[in-house]
Structure 1
Amino acid sequence: MASMLDGCTPWPQEFADRYRAAGHWRGSTLDTPLRGWALAYAARTALVHGGTRLTYANLNRRVDRVAAGFRLRGLRPGQRVVVQLPNVPERVITAFALIRVGAVPVFCPLSYRAAEVSPLVRVTEAVGYVGPSAYQGFDHTAMAADIAAQGPFLRRVFTYEPPGTASPYGGLATDASGCHYFPLGSVDAPPEAPLARGAGQVAFLLLSDCAPAAAPKLVARTHDDYACQVRAAAESVSLTGDDVYLTAPPAESDLAFGCPGVIGVLSVGGTVVLVEDPGPGAQLAAVERERVTIASVVPAAARLWLDALPTVRADLSSLRLVQLGGASVPGAIAERLGPALGCRLQRVFNRAEGLLVVTRPTGPDGAVLTAQGRPLLPDDEIRVVGADGREVPEGETGELLVRGPCTVRGYYRAPEHTARSFTGDGYFRTGALARRTPDGDLVMTGRAEDATRRASPGSGPADG
């Protein structure tokens, strides 16, 4: 199999060689360590969801069996599968199982409906869909059936049902369009020998933060580049096996998945606490109940936490760090959140395309209130440019551009978007306005104007 999917933009060989030589890319697929984790941390709790607790040994066993079940039902390496699941253990198991099969998960927000999901299926030519049969009053299976009837690609639908419930589609095996339906709980088979895969292959597809529904901008993350991001993010927060992580952001967000998120916590033998309820009461109660040490929140959730603290009165003394995601964070929220929770903050500015800018938790307390921090890796190359594509002086505002070992070189099957958002020499135009401080930190000041983002790929020094 080719190292990347057709429709992806590879890193130039000289950059790939440089990143491997520097130790950023280490040649391991994302699911490989899970086998080692199951041996090293067998009896430790890996996932918590309400009253459900999965040890590392059980998690790896479930992933192995579900992967074999997916293969038995026809999924093959390189095929794309849309994954639209709530924040439940099956989401983690499904992601790892598809990766172990060599299939490519396409992570999709649970809030998306046919108008957004159908273009994802069309652009990726997804042969599979994994989602709830119905969730919070919406019939996901009926949506998948309609999409399957409209095109030649989607032919396998796997429906998730919460424990103790029965699928209304349990008797439906195949519909008139030839699409097959399987309860996700029935996807189980004896484990098979691991497939040979390369770390340069695409592990999954993420949606760009500002992707329009009709023309999705999909980001293909490889095993090598995402593992590099996760390792560096875990080191930035001194993550250990004693940590308990709360997934407060949307389950499909890059922040919750790999900054260091679920992948990072599992990589060190920690515990991931999955909470479906978006309300602050349920999340803060989970912090007290599970003795959570690290959580990630976006500004809207942080505001809800602050508003709820006087009435919820949860014991939050276990928290040592809260990551505050997003480029635009009101100063009052950042100023209040740390003291209110009794822990340190880390500002995180991340993009699905790969850029990750963070403050260091060991740095001055005031830095988290005024800046987003610095790029995570020493080989992240940053430019702050004006509308003419030339770098602006320190302290002046311009658009933030980046290239590096975790930043992709183009969008999946979207040459027009790639030409608009990436320079000729591989810098990603983030669309964020920023300025550099004398200390080397980046301060995000807003969004770039469309005219700046539409600067032609050959206009100015930013393109080499």
Structure 2
Amino acid sequence: MSATIPATASAGASEDFPARPWVRSYPPQVPKTIDEARIGTVIDIFREGVATYPTRPAAESFGKIMTYAELGHASNAVASWLQMQGLKKGDRVAIMMPNVMAYPPVMFGALIAGAEVVNVNPLYTQREFTHQMRDSGARFLFVLENFAATAADALPDLKVDRVVIVKPGDLLGLKGAIINLVSRYVKKAVKPFHITGAVPFSAVVAEGRKRPPQPTLVTPDDIAFLQYTGGTTGVAKGAVLLHRNVAANVLQCEAWMRPFFGEREDHVMVTALPLYHIFGLTVCALFMTKIGGCQLLIANPRDIAGFVKTLKSHRITLMSGVNTLYNALANAPGIKDVDFSQLVFAVSGGMATQAAVAKKWKEVSGQPIVEGYGLSETSPVVCANRLDIEEFTGTIGYPLPSTDVSIRNSDGAPLPFGERGELCVKGPQVMPGYWQRPDETAKVMTADGYFRTGDVAVMQPDGEIKIVDRMKDMILVSGFNVYPNEVEDVLAHHPGVMEAAVIGLPDEQSGEAVAAYVVRRDPTLTADALRAYCRQNMTGYKVPRHIEFRDALPKTNVGKVLRRVLKDEVLPPAS
């Protein structure tokens, strides 16, 4: 399959179903397409930002600001150090950190050196971490010390050349030293660990600054990120995102958003979405770099009281988040004291936004939530609502410039307006495939080059799209994908479990919650004991919130567990 997927007219175009009907609903300032000749690399976006906005704030963490010039110097130092350690173009560098100041320069530095970045959720368990490191073949690991114990336990079984230990206060000067002390000795957030030969990040920067990085030819067709996702099966695999895929999506986001910025140039994006998540990576880190904005890095968005305190002391203009984050903020004490008068828009994605949450958010901030839609495989943004809406729409809006979508039936034939079918996507932001898994790639790509999302949608005559269901069994917990196969596999390894089935149940807080239905081998097994076992083997959002023991599970005549039947049994019928 070609790595470059050109944007063409939607399949099935006719007088009754014209090609790209959504462009007629675009705001007049938004172009119908991006100039694909301008698509370069993520490094180009970085270098342009550093050169154009050297004195502007690029990022802020714990009250400390890093300018674009400083970001450039730190990123170059990381790139130089990696090259000194023998990194070759195409080697993988894993980053296992939340939103701390070191994240952007580590990411950009790795790309400058010619590496492919592997984003790792720092909350992963040893099992999850081990799989991703083995599958990607990462040679280098940058890990925040708060999560280094997980890496230390797994490393003896992995082939990793060098490990760099990052502290939350790195690159923050004297204030950073205080933050590190508080993290270690007051909050006791760092578990004991030992990694032979590990290098402190401060030493990486100091050593790397002794010489500039060696020039490395990186092209738009080179891999920028391996963004791990369960895809349609739940087996974690890397979506291969080329530089051109990600850079194209940044241009698409710019085309959609910039016309609404007015004359203001000093934008501040609340970056609570983790940068290891594709939404935060593209919409916050890379888009802000493109327009010369500042990322207000929130290292722990679950600390809502601290989050609100940070918002009170800043003039924010842009916001991105998921439904659960907006809900928590809208109901947080003190949120009405935050100055939202400069807020241009608040974008939501990753999971369905609830109308009640959107209503509460507008009451608090004065701005409606602008919902969008995307996936790891699409870099991620596919659709978004117009930014000039006055009220929450409950739809995912319109495909971005140079994006084609097609609603198709089970045979792959395009469907007319108003009919439910699978949402399929084509555009320059769509991945060429999964890392070393041509069989899985073949399952999700159509013969004419569309990516099958697995989501059921309806398109209106004006091109507006609404997600109505999911074809796959994926569970969406606060914007994070949970795959029943993976959870069931962990449950099945418990000696007291005979078999298990996992489904998602509606949840007011997280959108969906993981529910497990278990047939016991050991009749004394309790839900609490099983849940504790899951916590040892899966990150928190995957752990079943509901566990029910049963004598049997619904199955086909060949023994396959019927999750859909199980869901029909436990959920009330749709009205």
TM interval, shorter chain, is 0.7 to 0.9
2:293 counterpart of 1:293: no
In 2, Cα distance between equivalents of 1:437 and 1:345: 21
Q: Which aligned pairs between 1:258-407 and structure 2 lie closer than 5 A?
A: 258-259=282-283, 261-278=284-301, 279-308=303-332, 313-354=337-378, 355-362=381-388, 364-366=389-391, 368-377=392-401, 379-407=402-430
In 2, Cα distance between equivalents of 1:376 and 1:325: 14
Mark the CA change 1:229 to 1:51 in structure 2 (over 3 Å): closer, same or farther. Answer: same
Give the deviation of 1:420 after TM superposition.
Answer: 1.9
In 2, Cα distance between equivalents of 1:172 and 1:110: 17
Give the deviation of 1:262 after TM superposition.
Answer: 1.5
The match for 2:40 is 28
After superposition, the C-alpha distances for 1:192-247 in whole angstroms (9 at most, x for unaligned) are 3432221211111112265777x312111111221111122123222563211011
Q: Which aligned pairs between 1:42-441 and structure 2 lie closer than 5 A?
A: 42-133=54-145, 135=146, 140-151=147-158, 153-163=159-169, 164=177, 165=180, 174=196, 180-188=197-205, 189=208, 190-208=211-229, 210=231, 215-238=235-258, 239=261, 241-259=265-283, 261-278=284-301, 279-308=303-332, 313-354=337-378, 355-362=381-388, 364-366=389-391, 368-377=392-401, 379-441=402-464
User: Counterpart of 1:333 in structure 2: which amino acid?
Assistant: V
In 2, Cα distance between equivalents of 1:62 and 1:87: 16
Q: Decide whether the 8 Å contact of 1:434 with 1:445 is kept in 2.
A: yes
Q: Decide whether the 8 Å contact of 2:45 with 2:247 is kept in 1.
A: no
Mark the CA change 1:146 to 1:155 in structure 2 (over 3 Å): closer, same or farther. Answer: farther
Mark the CA change 1:375 to 1:92 in structure 2 (over 3 Å): closer, same or farther. Answer: same
In 2, Cα distance between equivalents of 1:99 and 1:229: 17
Unaligned runs of 5+ residues in structure 2 are: 9-32, 170-176, 185-189, 475-575
Give the deviation of 1:160 after TM superposition.
Answer: 0.8
Give the deviation of 1:283 after TM superposition.
Answer: 2.8
After superposition, the C-alpha distances for 1:297-343 in whole angstroms (9 at most, x for unaligned) are 10111110121156663222221210011342222222332232112
After superposition, the C-alpha distances for 1:350-379 in whole angstroms (9 at most, x for unaligned) are 1111152101112x434x4231111112x3
Q: Decide whether the 8 Å contact of 2:6 with 2:427 is kept in 1.
A: no
Give the deviation of 1:267 after TM superposition.
Answer: 1.4
User: Counterpart of 1:365 in structure 2: which amino acid?
Assistant: E
Q: Decide whether the 8 Å contact of 1:287 with 1:316 is kept in 2.
A: no
Q: Decide whether the 8 Å contact of 2:4 with 2:428 is kept in 1.
A: no
In 2, Cα distance between equivalents of 1:369 and 1:202: 36
The 3-state SS of whatever aligns with 1:394 is coil
In 1, Cα distance between equivalents of 2:338 and 2:73: 35
Give the deviation of 1:73 after TM superposition.
Answer: 2.1
After superposition, the C-alpha distances for 1:245-278 in whole angstroms (9 at most, x for unaligned) are 011222322221213x221112121111101121
After superposition, the C-alpha distances for 1:102-127 in whole angstroms (9 at most, x for unaligned) are 01110111211211111111111111
Give the deviation of 1:156 after TM superposition.
Answer: 1.4
In 1, Cα distance between equivalents of 2:192 and 2:79: 21
Mark the CA change 1:195 to 1:437 in structure 2 (over 3 Å): closer, same or farther. Answer: same
State, as a whole percentage, how many aligned pairs show the same letter: 25
Q: Compare 200-209 and 265-274 and name the one that shifted more.
A: 200-209
In 1, Cα distance between equivalents of 2:41 and 2:472: 38
After superposition, the C-alpha distances for 1:415-438 in whole angstroms (9 at most, x for unaligned) are 232122222332111011110112
Whose Rg is larger? Answer: 2
Q: Decide whether the 8 Å contact of 1:144 with 1:157 is kept in 2.
A: no
Root-mean-square deviation (CA, aligned residues, Å) is 2.7
User: Counterpart of 1:439 in structure 2: which amino acid?
Assistant: D
